[in-house]
Structure 1
Amino acid sequence: MNVLAFSSPLATVAGTLPVLLMFSGQTAPAIYLLVTLMLLIFSVGFVKMSRSVQGPGGFYSFVTAGLGKPVGLGGAFLALFGYIFIGFFAPSFFGVTLQGFVVNTLGGPDIPWCWYALAITAVTTVLAYNRIDLSAKLLTIVMMLEVAIIVVFDVVSFSANGLEAVQSAGFALRSITDATLGLALLFAVGNFFGFEATVIYRDEVKNPDKTISRATYLAVVGIGIFYAVAAWAFIAFFGPDKIQAEAENNTVNLFNDALVGLVGRIFADIAVILLITLVLACMLSIQNIAVRYSFALASDHALPRLLGRVHPKHKSPYVSALAVGLIWAVATVLFTVLGVAPEALYPIASGSGTFAVLFLMFITSFAVLVYFIRRRGFAPESIWKTVIAPIISVLFLGAITYLAIANYPELIGGSTVMTAIFMSFTFALFIGGIVYAFFLRTKRPDIYARLDRQKID
């Protein structure tokens, strides 16, 4: 459930999907199906690796096993930074959305967005502080409601526009050299982030080998088909020849206007309420993942040991949960004092965080390939799972990473200066982790020996 909450179905359909339609038009369903296929191939090596590298460190553990501790530590810093930045989109987005709903729909007081942002940060931090099953109960309720909204949208759209509209989606992809295809792929891949959580929660589930395999494949297939159908419903409502222009001219309100046209204003307002609620679920899911990276690094003594403490009652990494929440709260106050508009914050936060995690996925795919090639001499296994699928993943994620670099200004919605700052910081973070690991190997070999002490089968 944490995996699906991370992908934020309603936020994706209402926010990200119109952007993807702006770049891809009627080929959006094909974009999602292509990405689903590629990530399923990535999952082949990912799942196989999870059975060999039995640790809850996620990409941190996999990169360490395949490419060594220095690169693994650099990857862990990328993951921690990426997820904290991705999560920071939520306070500002929540604040602006709730502020507008209270003022414009309810006719309530105009409370500054930062107070709403601080409130949601406090709530998710309290939930992350507690046991993960408490969080899962909340996520289940929210997910069922938001999925129901989207299913209603899909069914009504297809029903209202007939068989011809249902058949109107285009499944022929544009040229690989088309810049809009690259941007569409970038946004689509970002919708799948979070399925790594199936490995991160290894120590918190029963029969992890079976659970991780099933959860990973179901998450990728479920997310891909769900969004492909939603994109198809948009096309059915607006028409294949008009959808791209509609998305360009009305990106922010595309979903809301479609709902109003199909089922009326009251239902659309209910969807906005759920959209506000799901941001909490999404933020909580991201916080849980970031917290576990912080906990893993602290347990290895690469970060202050205080962050590795476990609550005696809740059995949760509560200090790391408090630390992530405090970072978000301080950042909210800081940007408010500096006068930075919240609308400028969430594209920068989510875009830069997305690039960091995408870059880490590329490194991980290469690490999986290297790991199994090294083992073929003494423990040969299925060539499809250990060689062919990882090679395809390296090529695909390498191409997407290149497209992310080439289109970074559009990804973060920023200027050339902002692009230089955030991209340089991302690469510096990765390289800095590698340098720090070499420092530990020379000056603190006891800590270096502890780095990602996963069990390798």
Structure 2
Amino acid sequence: MNSVELEGAATKRQNPQQDNANQKLVGHMGVLQLAFTVIAYNAPIVVFVGYLPAVILLGNGVGTPAALLACGVVVCLLVSGILLLARRIDSPGGFYSFVAAGLGKEMGLGAGFAALTCYYAAMLGGYALGGIAMNSLVHDVFNGPNIHWWVFTIVILGFASVIGYFNIDVSAKVLTCFLALEVGLIAWYDIAVIAHQGLAAFKLNSFDPSNVWSGSIGIAVLFGVGCYGGFEATVVFRNEVRDPVKTVRRATYLVIACVGFLYAFTSWMFINSYGGNAILAAVGADPTGAATSSVEKYAGHVAFDIVTLLTVTGSFALIVAAHNISARYLFNLSADGVLPRVLSEVHHKHRSPARASVGISLLSATGILVLILSNSNPSYLYAKLAGTYAYTAIILLLLVAIAIVAYVVRTYGTVDDGSTGTAQAIGSTIAAVVMVWALWIGSKHFDLLTGATGTAAVIMFIVIWGMLAAGIVTAVVLRKSRPETYERIGRQEG
């Protein structure tokens, strides 16, 4: 080793903080970019076309808009506690870090494994939906050849892998553009309904108590909470924003407000576009076509074709966002030493979790291959994977709600940051009760939620809970075999 190299090595030893800084992810997202990135994961056009009709059909029918708003209030109660922990725990690990801080490292690692499962299922579902939508666009709209859905899915995988490899700012710009198109189309539809229906578009039947409490309010809550899925990603990206405290707080509440208003108002317009009685018959006869038929009737055939196009871009946005979130969970688990350290190396130029992103791309390719070999209807695959995501998300929300309460109780009076945490603990307790109810409903109607029956439903149920258990067992093993790694679980800084 020459003198220059020796001097460099000595400098590194003298400046370990600089070395750690080089291993941190870097980004410059502001409030709007962060919020749009998370809302894009929610895929508004997909929710409108494929999800809201299911909520109306299986939930509380005409009372769906009120249920969605109520679920938004519950999520806000939970968000208050999440932001308290985000302020006190300097970690971008999301639910993985928060559950570890509140319920211990074993449950924390279990939550980390469950989070990976959750977003991986959402991502694979997006790939299946994207392939279907792309084939429909080429074949039905442009009168092109009818190609296997998985051919398009592989193309989408290539683009998503490239975008996910770079700095988060690249993804944020792409997702913001796609989200603007989706929201624009939905706004076009809402305005068209108002223009045609006049005051009838604002009938208040959806907020009549007899309708709000009709049907299955439990399933309405289960699906309603799912509509807000992914809001915790604002915390996962905390190292890649301009001001972690202010940006994350403002963006999180902005996500909840925008999602709540968008879905509640659009479902209200959708219901009144048919009429209180007719909407149930419409979604019952054609759950997947009721929304698109309404778009064509009120906004025109051009808007109908654009919906097909935006389903493609919306699916892609969902995939990219889920890819980014999954990569960061993989990165954080690697940074803590639970997974191979190589996955936590930061790209020297892009300051992105490039290797973790490649790992997610390989896992995606493996999952897509399994979907292809299963030779199943891709529409059913999407429904099953979306249900898997929703069910796992409820488990995670319940765990973090309990963790918030446990953390506040354990640290009460020991942290001086202007908040005792009492209000957050109360809000999280209320949210936990709702999540227990939703989880019980989801478990009872698991086949309805996922579209899986028999052996397939049992396998999916075991996989979900098995991943949570695998994380717990892994932590127990690490406690005895690698105590230094066990101590880092959920606690890495930056």
The normalised TM-score by structure 1 is 0.96
- Letter of the 1:449 counterpart: E
Shift of the 175–106 alpha-carbon distance from structure 1 to 2, 3 Å rule, reads closer
Contact 1:80–1:290 (CA under 8 A) maintained in structure 2: yes
- Letter of the 1:211 counterpart: T
* Structure 1 counterpart of 2:153: 117
Inter-partner Cα distance in structure 2 for 1:175 and 1:150 = 25
1:11 aligns with 2:46: yes
1:394 aligns with 2:432: yes
Q: Residues 73-92 of structure 1: CA distance to partner in whole angstroms, max 9, x if unpaired?
A: 01100001111011100111
* Structure 1 counterpart of 2:76: 40
Q: Residues 283-334 of structure 1: CA distance to partner in whole angstroms, max 9, x if unpaired?
A: 1011110110000001111112221121111111111111112222222223
* Structure 2 counterpart of 1:236: 272
Inter-partner Cα distance in structure 2 for 1:37 and 1:182 = 16
Shift of the 318–173 alpha-carbon distance from structure 1 to 2, 3 Å rule, reads farther
SS of structure 2 residue aligned to 1:314: coil
**How do residues 128-277 of structure 1 correspond to structure 2 at under 5 angstroms?**
128-172=164-208, 180-277=216-313
Inter-partner Cα distance in structure 2 for 1:28 and 1:178 = 10
1:414 aligns with 2:449: no
Shift of the 300–45 alpha-carbon distance from structure 1 to 2, 3 Å rule, reads same
Which is greater in Rg?
2
Contact 1:77–1:433 (CA under 8 A) maintained in structure 2: yes
SS of structure 1 residue aligned to 2:216: helix
* Structure 2 counterpart of 1:294: 330
SS of structure 2 residue aligned to 1:88: helix
Off by >6 Å, runs of 4+ in structure 1: 174-179
Contact 2:412–2:421 (CA under 8 A) maintained in structure 1: no
Segments of 5+ residues of structure 1 without an aligned counterpart are: none
Inter-partner Cα distance in structure 2 for 1:206 and 1:383 = 26
Inter-partner Cα distance in structure 2 for 1:100 and 1:272 = 7
Inter-partner Cα distance in structure 2 for 1:297 and 1:455 = 12
Contact 1:176–1:182 (CA under 8 A) maintained in structure 2: no
Inter-partner Cα distance in structure 2 for 1:281 and 1:164 = 34
Shift of the 410–295 alpha-carbon distance from structure 1 to 2, 3 Å rule, reads same
Contact 2:118–2:389 (CA under 8 A) maintained in structure 1: yes
Percentage of matched positions with identical amino acids: 31
* Structure 1 counterpart of 2:88: 52
* Structure 2 counterpart of 1:441: 479
Q: What is the deviation of 1:174? A: 6.4
- Letter of the 1:192 counterpart: Y
Q: Residues 349-378 of structure 1: CA distance to partner in whole angstroms, max 9, x if unpaired?
A: 121122112101100000000000111243
Inter-partner Cα distance in structure 2 for 1:77 and 1:92 = 23
- Of 39, 45, 67, 2:103 maps to 67
Q: What is the deviation of 1:100? A: 2.1
Moved more, 66-75 or 414-423: 414-423
Inter-partner Cα distance in structure 2 for 1:338 and 1:82 = 21
1:372 aligns with 2:408: yes
Inter-partner Cα distance in structure 1 for 2:86 and 2:262 = 26
Inter-partner Cα distance in structure 1 for 2:220 and 2:246 = 33
SS of structure 2 residue aligned to 1:316: coil
Contact 1:125–1:325 (CA under 8 A) maintained in structure 2: yes
Segments of 5+ residues of structure 2 without an aligned counterpart are: 1-35
Q: Residues 102-143 of structure 1: CA distance to partner in whole angstroms, max 9, x if unpaired?
A: 122212112211110111111111100011101111111111
Contact 2:62–2:212 (CA under 8 A) maintained in structure 1: no
Q: What is the deviation of 1:176? A: 10
RMSD across aligned positions (CA): 1.8
- Letter of the 1:20 counterpart: V
1:385 aligns with 2:420: no
**Number of matched residues?**
456
Q: What is the deviation of 1:179? A: 6.6
SS of structure 1 residue aligned to 2:491: coil
Shift of the 104–250 alpha-carbon distance from structure 1 to 2, 3 Å rule, reads same
- Of 437, 443, 453, 2:491 maps to 453
- Of 462, 466, 469, 1:428 maps to 466
Shift of the 384–73 alpha-carbon distance from structure 1 to 2, 3 Å rule, reads same
Contact 1:46–1:368 (CA under 8 A) maintained in structure 2: yes
**How do residues 21-36 of structure 1 correspond to structure 2 at under 5 angstroms?**
21-23=56-58, 24-36=60-72
Q: What is the deviation of 1:454? A: 4.0
Contact 2:63–2:211 (CA under 8 A) maintained in structure 1: no
